[in-house]
């Protein structure tokens, strides 16, 4: 992992609005060293994180029901819409990355959050059926291979980085995902099984993989054992119990994507203030300040789909300035 060249700051994924070209222009203009493929969920079903990833699946399809996305026998209008929007986003990214060389991040929902969100034909989450979970993970793995190949074709100088969004992973591990009735919860998934499924996706990707979760209680140790190159999290949700895991991750070479910039509209502190907590944690853990900028990528705390366009642009720019402050003043 240590030979991966990362940029100092990047975005999480989603942005407000529905203009793919404007979003690609904003992201590539903000993150010259580590752009990402923007997601625009405001366009509707198929542009949302679950629908977008469902459109990537191979030999599995999904359509929209009032309760959410449900697995289908064949591709329909919703699948076609999801694939069309992804194609539009890739067109825009290709336009604004002409000649770019360096890391380029793309995002997809990870296997466990997908299993918690996608419904089987009976309306229950795929999470309820171990066989369905395996099929879903396998289909996702094949779809991601094709997606990454398409990114390489469109941006030949890019070194793709895959972000798996797993906001439901902690709930899956702790048995907190509700059944369709809402009165019960699905049984907790065995941690070794969860780790194994993630490892298979990570190993098959053929590119550095980071896992993002802006939920509390991110399972840092499990993710590291699954072989991820980086972990993306909301820095403001860390607890004392997380600190030892953070230290172990940093010392083990896992890149830490620290979400320190608020993802919804509000005042932004000065860049140095935004990363003060990261510096303080580094000192408290007894880690070498000289490794801080090498170990940490600065991001917003989560996706920016709920922000105003003006604030979203400001948050991306602020992330870059905060990363610069961290590099210039690690102490």
* pLDDT tens readout for residues 305-326: 999 999 999 999 999 999 999 9
**CATH number for position 105:** 3.20.20.210
Residue 2 pLDDT > 60: no
pLDDT tens-digit map of 249-287: 999 999 999 999 999 999 998 999 999 999 999 999 999
pLDDT tens-digit map of 13-65: 999 999 999 999 999 999 999 999 999 999 999 999 999 999 999 999 999 99
Residue 250 phi/psi, 5-degree rounding, is: -65, -45
SS3 at position 138: helix
* % of the chain with per-residue pLDDT over 90: 93
Find residue 257's DSSP bridge partners. 232, 297
Residue 167 phi/psi, 5-degree rounding, is: -65, -20
Residue 4 pLDDT > 80: no
pLDDT at 73: 87
For 174-183, what is the mean pLDDT? 92
* % of the chain with per-residue pLDDT over 70: 98
Tell whether 52 is covered by a domain.
yes
Residue 7 pLDDT > 90: yes
pLDDT tens-digit map of 217-252: 999 999 999 999 999 999 999 999 999 999 999 999
Tell whether 218 is covered by a domain.
yes
pLDDT at 181: 87
Which single residue is written with the structure tokens 């060249």? 5
Tell whether 2 is covered by a domain.
no
pLDDT at 170: 97
DSSP-assigned letter for residue 148: H
**Nearest-angstrom CA–CA distance, 261 and 293:** 16
Tell whether 8 is covered by a domain.
no
Task: List the structure tokens of 191.
Answer: 């941690």
SS3 at position 208: coil
Mean pLDDT, all residues of the chain: 95
- Count the neighbouring beta carbons within 10 Å of the beta carbon of residue 158: 21
Q: Which residues of 164-201 are buried (b: 16+ CB within 10 A; e: fewer)?
A: bbbbbbbbbbeeebeeeeeeeebeebeeeebbebbbbb
**Nearest-angstrom CA–CA distance, 12 and 18:** 17
Residue 331 pLDDT > 80: no
pLDDT at 1: 45
Tell whether 190 is covered by a domain.
yes
Helix (H) or strand (E) segment spanning residue 173: helix 169-173
> How many separate domains does the chain show?
1
Tell whether 9 is covered by a domain.
no
Tell whether 317 is covered by a domain.
yes
Task: List the structure tokens of 120.
Answer: 């089987």
For 146-164, what is the mean pLDDT? 97
Residue 211 pLDDT > 60: yes
**3 pLDDT band (50/70/90 cuts)?**
low
Residue 175 pLDDT > 80: yes
Tell whether 278 is covered by a domain.
yes
Contacts of residue 281, defined as CB under 8 A and 6 or more positions apart, other chains included, come to 238, 243, 246
- Domain span at residue 311 reads 20-328
**182 pLDDT band (50/70/90 cuts)?**
confident
CA 290 to chain centre: 27
Find residue 211's DSSP bridge partners. 164, 231
């Amino acid at each position: 992992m240590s030979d991966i060249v990362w940029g100092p700051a990047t975005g999480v994924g989603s942005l407000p609005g529905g203009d793919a070209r404007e979003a690609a222009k904003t992201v590539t203009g903000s993150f010259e060293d580590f752009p990402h493929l923007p997601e625009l969920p405001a366009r509707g079903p198929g542009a949302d994180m679950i629908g977008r990833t469902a459109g990537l699946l191979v030999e599995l399809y999904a359509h929209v029901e009032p309760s959410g996305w449900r697995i289908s026998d064949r591709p329909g209008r919703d699948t076609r819409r999801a694939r069309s929007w992804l194609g539009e986003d890739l067109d825009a990214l290709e336009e604004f990355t002409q000649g770019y060389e360096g890391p380029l991040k793309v995002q997809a929902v990870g296997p466990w959050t997908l299993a918690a969100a996608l419904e089987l034909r009976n309306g229950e989450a795929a999470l309820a059926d171990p066989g369905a979970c395996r099929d879903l993970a396998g289909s996702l793995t094949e779809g991601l291979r094709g997606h990454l190949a398409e990114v390489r074709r469109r941006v030949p100088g890019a070194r793709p980085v895959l972000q798996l969004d797993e906001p439901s992973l902690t709930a899956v591990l702790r048995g907190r995902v509700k059944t369709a009735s809402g009165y019960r919860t699905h049984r907790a998934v065995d941690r070794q099984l969860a780790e194994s499924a993630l490892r298979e996706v990570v190993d098959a990707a053929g590119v550095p993989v980071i896992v993002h979760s802006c939920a509390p209680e991110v399972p840092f140790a499990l993710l590291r054992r699954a072989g991820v190159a980086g972990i993306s999290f909301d820095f403001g949700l860390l607890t004392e119990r997380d600190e030892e895991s953070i230290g172990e991750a940093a010392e083990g070479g896992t890149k830490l994507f620290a979400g320190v910039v608020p993802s919804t509209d509000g005042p932004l502190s000065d860049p140095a203030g935004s990363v003060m907590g990261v510096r303080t944690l580094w000192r408290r853990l007894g880690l070498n300040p000289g490794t801080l900028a090498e170990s940490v990528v600065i991001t917003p705390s989560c996706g920016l789909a709920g922000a105003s366009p003006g604030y979203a642009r400001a948050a991306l720019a602020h992330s870059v300035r905060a990363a610069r402050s961290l590099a210039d003043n690690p102490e």
